[in-house]
Amino acid sequence: MSGSVYGGDEVGAVCFDFGSHSVRCGFAGEDSPKANVPTHMLTGDENTKFHVGTNAIMFPREKSEVVSPIKDGMIENWDQYETMMDHLYTRCLSVESKEHPVMMSEVAWNKMEKRHKTCEIMFEKYKVPAFYLCKNAVLVAFASGRSTALVLDSGAAQTTAVPVHDGYVIQHGVVRSPLAGNFLAAQVRDYLKDQKIDVVPTYKIASKDPVKEGQTPIWTARKNIPNVSNTWHDYQVDQVIEDLIHHVLQVHDKPATEEELSMIPGSGFEFPNGYSHLFGAERFKIPEPLFDPLGTNLRILGGDMLAAQHVLSSSISMCDIDVRPGLW
């Protein structure tokens, strides 16, 4: 829609994609989003209700709690949602909401009352000239040039398989599993705890000295740190865990034995306090439960503990038999 004619004028549509971990926004027709903002935000005071954005949430504030407007992929807190939209329009896009039509993605299981509330806010508060709410699985299928597809989406909170037929989601074929990014982070925490590796977040560190791999870190604690909340401290630890996952963990091409994994060179990672650790076979073992959860100490409650391939096969088997050939 970028550069298309709307109401006699040439305008670009604005796209919003809300997720449990981050929010993407940008202009339709462009190759990448204009901004990728954390979904989480900090509670404020009577002057500033919420602090939104990457820089704002990383700054330590007295007893500010980390909150999120998204729960189970759906908008749960509408005040936080409006604060996020204000930030996206003013700080990220720098456009007037009334001048651009909007397309927003939603999860396949979004409730009707939440869809109505979203439309109400966009039309009444932001005065958008046009608004389209579309299932994210349908958008993925269309972006791949297909109107019929089986879309596997593994995000922060859950892994889902959504069958799309002729541009419409087959609701009774949607399958969800909690084995996703948050589960992976929990597995990393358990491993670090077993190895007695203390994860010190960046905000606590004033300086550090270089040490050899495996040696006790030498660092100086930062002084005059505000009395931060537990949720904010945990969020900062999660940032270190997330960085470790991105740089170290890897999925092997095929099932491998302990001996085969031990022959693969390890990958080192330096923690914020200067401690350096070499990850060997465990960097392949930690993400393996995403595909083979049996025998693993699963710590996530709720939902079926289905591996990624079982999520796909279960979704296909729940669809009508005449639709299945187009999903394989």
What's the average pLDDT block by block, 10 residues per block, for the chain (328 residues)? 48 90 93 94 82 92 92 94 96 93 96 96 96 96 93 93 95 93 92 93 93 91 92 96 94 82 89 93 90 64 72 93 87
- The distance from CA 225 to its chain's CA centroid, rounded to whole angstroms, is 29
Give the pLDDT score at 304. 60
Q: CA separation (Å) from 271 to 162, 187, 295? A: 38, 17, 29
- How much is the pLDDT for 10? 56
Per-residue confidence (pLDDT) for residue 133, from 0 to 100: 96
Distance CA 142, CA 111 (A): 23
Instruction: Write down the pLDDT at residue 301.
Output: 43
Q: What is the pLDDT of residue 154?
A: 92
Cα–Cα distance, 17 to 15 (Å, whole number): 7
Residues 6 or more apart from 260 whose CB is under 8 A from it?
Answer: none
Q: Are strands 35-38 and 22-27 parallel, antiparallel or unpaired?
A: antiparallel
**Which DSSP category does 110 fall into?**
-
Amino acid (1-letter code) at residue 63: K
Identify the pLDDT of residue 7.
52
